[in-house]
Structure 1
Amino acid sequence: MAIQYALVARGSVVLAEFGGAGTNAGGIARQILEKIPGTNDSHVSYSQDRHIFHVKRTDGITVLCMADDSAGRRIPFAFLEDIHGRFVKTYGRACHTALAYAMNEEFSRVLNQQMDYYSNDPNADRMNRIKGEMSQVRNVMIDNIDKVLERGDRLELLVDRTANMQGNTIRFRKQSRRFRNTVWWRNVKLTFALILLLLVIIYVVLAFVCHGVTLPTCFR
Structure 2
Amino acid sequence: MTIAYSCIANGREVLAELTLTGGSYQEAAATVLKLVLLRAEPKTIIQMGSSVYHTLFIDGITYLCASDNALDTVTPSAFLKNVSETFLRSPLMSQEHFSPSNAVATDFQQVLGKYMMKYNKNQEDSSISALKSQVTDVKNVMTQNIDKILEREERLDIFTDRTDDLQTTAKESQNTRKILGRIWWKHFKKIIVITMAILLSIIIILLSTNVIPT
Normalising to structure 1: TM-score of the pair?
0.50
What displacement does 1:40 show? 3.8
Whole-Å Cα distance in 2 between the matches of residues 23 and 45 of structure 1?
20
Q: Give 1:38-117 correspondences, 5 Å limit.
A: 38=38, 40-69=40-69, 72-91=72-91, 93-94=93-94, 97-102=97-102, 103-117=104-118
Partner Cα separation in structure 1 for residue 20 and residue 101 of structure 2: 16
Question: What is the number of residues matched between the two proteins?
Answer: 125
Q: Could you tell me how far apart the structure 1 residues matched to 2:54 and 2:122 are?
A: 20
Aligned match of 2:119: 118
Q: Distance in 1 between matches of 2:41 and 2:50?
A: 26
Amino acid at match of 2:107: E
Percent of residue pairs bearing the same amino acid type: 24
Answer whether contact 2:2 2:123 (CA < 8 A) is retained: no
Quote the Cα distance in structure 2 between the aligned partners of 1:70 and 1:35.
Answer: 19
Letter in 1 for 2:100: A
Provide the alpha-carbon RMSD of the alignment. 2.6
Structure 2: segments with no counterpart, 5+ residues: 127-214
Alignment partners' CA distance in 1, 2:85 and 2:111 = 12
Report the CA distance between 1:111 and its aligned residue.
Answer: 0.6
Larger Rg: 2
Does residue 30 of the first structure (1) align with residue 30 of the second (2)?
Answer: yes
Deviations 1:185-217 (A, max 9, x none): xxxxxxxxxxxxxxxxxxxxxxxxxxxxxxxxx
